[in-house]
Structure 1
């Protein structure tokens, strides 16, 4: 049996849910002594040193960007290369390369398992041709994969209703967020206690809503994100950076620094409203602190309706004001229990390899 993981920037992962998933699947493969050969496709542009292996996996490089305009070609070339090499179990993460799956099925008998991620074509950042391509790619992924994976029950329900196709639900692990020892230097300039928000700075993550809610609150907010990546982020940074109880923080990729920042938070604010089960949410659930989440169906499924939810800046502000110590302790305990029951990499890895190898 020869397994290949495709559709990510590569491993070791430095950022992104799929990269974290791929890395933890490789770690699970090695830790369990799985005898199947495993390969991971990587973007040569992201790994200038191009090591031959990571853990128990061989690394193969494609000279294109894994994201953006080149992602379709990147995934397509990865798929055809895996077929050429005789890989007979293919895990495709995302739908960018799914347009070529009909051809792959014609020339190969490989078992194809595809994680379709969120409902990508519905994201606000896609318009016109890009939206149409993503919608067709979703159809192709669902139609021509042997197994379709959604990371959230709400997405699985959508797949069943839209494409009349069964869909396995496999979320993400979050316990790796506790692995690194905290680096106290990361919190040297931060308040002693604060609410934490952490995400890519995009409209669908309701960044402006969160910031506006905390303008009228005494509770400090530390908001970590890639503010300088877009005009949207730069504008928000300029508007809110000087507010006395809001800390606009640059992105943190170092695991030890991120652990320290998370450890000091007393509440986590999660604004994502699209995509499914978000990795940053399940990671924070392992920290046993109360979570205030956007009230979309994805977040409600992830937290089993036991977090507190908001749909506007006013609702978020009221949720912060009304959060008593007793309620905070109970919500935090519920989040930790759910996380340890549903979102550990041991059980996630076991499920993925069962789906690939069956």
Structure 2
């Protein structure tokens, strides 16, 4: 099967969740003998034409000139390229800048499957007009994609109720580390189980400043380590000696070590879907303090402490000084959940099942048309 993955900032990952997803899925698909292409924007730093047997195709993306609008053109060019290469399936990561391309070009041999991500139009960083456009793009993506994928049951129910379609339910995955090494935390001047950890991009809906404020007001003497795109925050909090900022860390081994040796990971994401960073914290056997929402509750169940306000998080941190038998049990339960539901091999199986189903339907339709 010839498969293309479109709509990310490229692999190897140096940006975020969809890039990690594209890297992990593409490599596993290639390992199973499929011909896989991932499109990288021209500004991606990786220069080789293959990555672990995955073909890398670089196409122009003039983000420096057009800003975010460049990705509308970029996704269009990627899909057009995939069609010319007679790719069987194009998997789109998100719909925000790809919906127009799908609507214009999905009349060809190549089938379009769209992972709908979370509720993009809920993101605090977008203004009113952008949120309206995103809802329109959502509608277009549902209409013109051959099938859509939801990464969480709440997302799946939303599309079923609103558009009367049933998305394939496929989450993200996580690798379970085989061992952990304290040298990573030593290099960042941290001591095991003496710091709280936040791993998130500096976006309003990830609540990093909310977490910093709660930690400052808690009186907890343990450090706060924040892994993010840190320039703005590191300048703002430069006088805070107990905050350790780490800039744009994408090394999965180092991230796993940071998570594992933390006192707890604080997960403040508020916009829905299954967040890859949450799964990775579970896989790294970190205890989790999470924002209280339905998405997190379904995944973590009773195996986390939840906060719903700055004061509630401050109180949690004030009283949280060491791990216990209760937190160890929660860590074990979360690890078992990763083993059972979220390993990348399971996720790869589910995507292949969707791809094969779409191609079988296409073949059947072709045979009917021929008759």
1:80, distance to aligned residue in structure 2 (A):
1.4
- 2 CA distance for matches of 1:256 and 1:183? 11
Q: Do the aligned partners of 2:225 and 2:245 also contact (CA within 8 Å) in 1?
A: yes
Match of 2:263, SS state, is strand
Q: Do the aligned partners of 1:180 and 1:256 also contact (CA within 8 Å) in 2?
A: no
Unaligned runs of 5+ in 1: 229-233
Equivalent in the alignment of 2:230: 227
1:12, distance to aligned residue in structure 2 (A):
2.0
Equivalent in the alignment of 2:68: 68
The TM-score with structure 2 as length reference comes to: 0.86
Q: Alignment partner for residue 36 of structure 2, among 24, 35, 38?
A: 38
CA RMSD of aligned residues (A): 2.3
Equivalent in the alignment of 1:127: 127
Matched, 1:114 2:94: no
- 1 CA distance for matches of 2:264 and 2:285? 9
Equivalent in the alignment of 2:105: 104
Equivalent in the alignment of 2:329: 330
Q: Do the aligned partners of 1:151 and 1:169 also contact (CA within 8 Å) in 2?
A: yes
Equivalent in the alignment of 2:339: 340
- 1 CA distance for matches of 2:181 and 2:143? 45
Q: Do the aligned partners of 2:86 and 2:109 also contact (CA within 8 Å) in 1?
A: no
Q: Do the aligned partners of 1:267 and 1:290 also contact (CA within 8 Å) in 2?
A: yes
Q: How does 1:226-245 map to 2 (within 5 A)?
A: 226-228=229-231, 234=232, 236-245=233-242
Q: Do the aligned partners of 1:159 and 1:165 also contact (CA within 8 Å) in 2?
A: yes
The TM-score with structure 1 as length reference comes to: 0.89
* 1:331-352 superposed Cα distances (whole Å, 9 cap, x missing partner): 2122211122111111111111
Equivalent in the alignment of 1:144: 144
Alpha-carbon distance change, 23 to 179 in structure 1, aligned in 2, over 3 angstroms: farther
**In the comparison of the two structures, how many residue pairs are matched?**
347
Q: Do the aligned partners of 1:266 and 1:289 also contact (CA within 8 Å) in 2?
A: yes
1:256, distance to aligned residue in structure 2 (A):
3.8
Q: Do the aligned partners of 1:29 and 1:56 also contact (CA within 8 Å) in 2?
A: no
Match of 1:19, SS state, is helix
Alpha-carbon distance change, 303 to 211 in structure 1, aligned in 2, over 3 angstroms: same
Match of 2:171, SS state, is coil
- 2 CA distance for matches of 1:352 and 1:299? 23
Q: How does 1:1-358 map to 2 (within 5 A)?
A: 1-32=1-32, 34=33, 36-47=34-45, 49=47, 51-64=48-61, 68-95=68-95, 96-106=97-107, 108-175=108-175, 178=177, 182=181, 184-188=183-187, 189-192=189-192, 193-215=194-216, 216-218=218-220, 219-228=222-231, 234=232, 236-323=233-320, 325-358=324-357
Alpha-carbon distance change, 357 to 204 in structure 1, aligned in 2, over 3 angstroms: same
Unaligned runs of 5+ in 2: 358-371
Match of 1:15, SS state, is coil
Alpha-carbon distance change, 31 to 226 in structure 1, aligned in 2, over 3 angstroms: same
Match of 1:265, SS state, is coil
Alpha-carbon distance change, 247 to 59 in structure 1, aligned in 2, over 3 angstroms: closer
Equivalent in the alignment of 2:366: none
Q: Do the aligned partners of 2:12 and 2:46 also contact (CA within 8 Å) in 1?
A: no
* 1:11-59 superposed Cα distances (whole Å, 9 cap, x missing partner): 2222311111111112212333x2x32222111221463x222223222
Q: Do the aligned partners of 1:292 and 1:307 also contact (CA within 8 Å) in 2?
A: yes
Q: Do the aligned partners of 1:180 and 1:255 also contact (CA within 8 Å) in 2?
A: no
1:114, distance to aligned residue in structure 2 (A):
0.6
1:289, distance to aligned residue in structure 2 (A):
2.6
- 2 CA distance for matches of 1:350 and 1:21? 14
Q: Do the aligned partners of 2:184 and 2:258 also contact (CA within 8 Å) in 1?
A: no
1:246, distance to aligned residue in structure 2 (A):
3.2
Alpha-carbon distance change, 12 to 240 in structure 1, aligned in 2, over 3 angstroms: closer
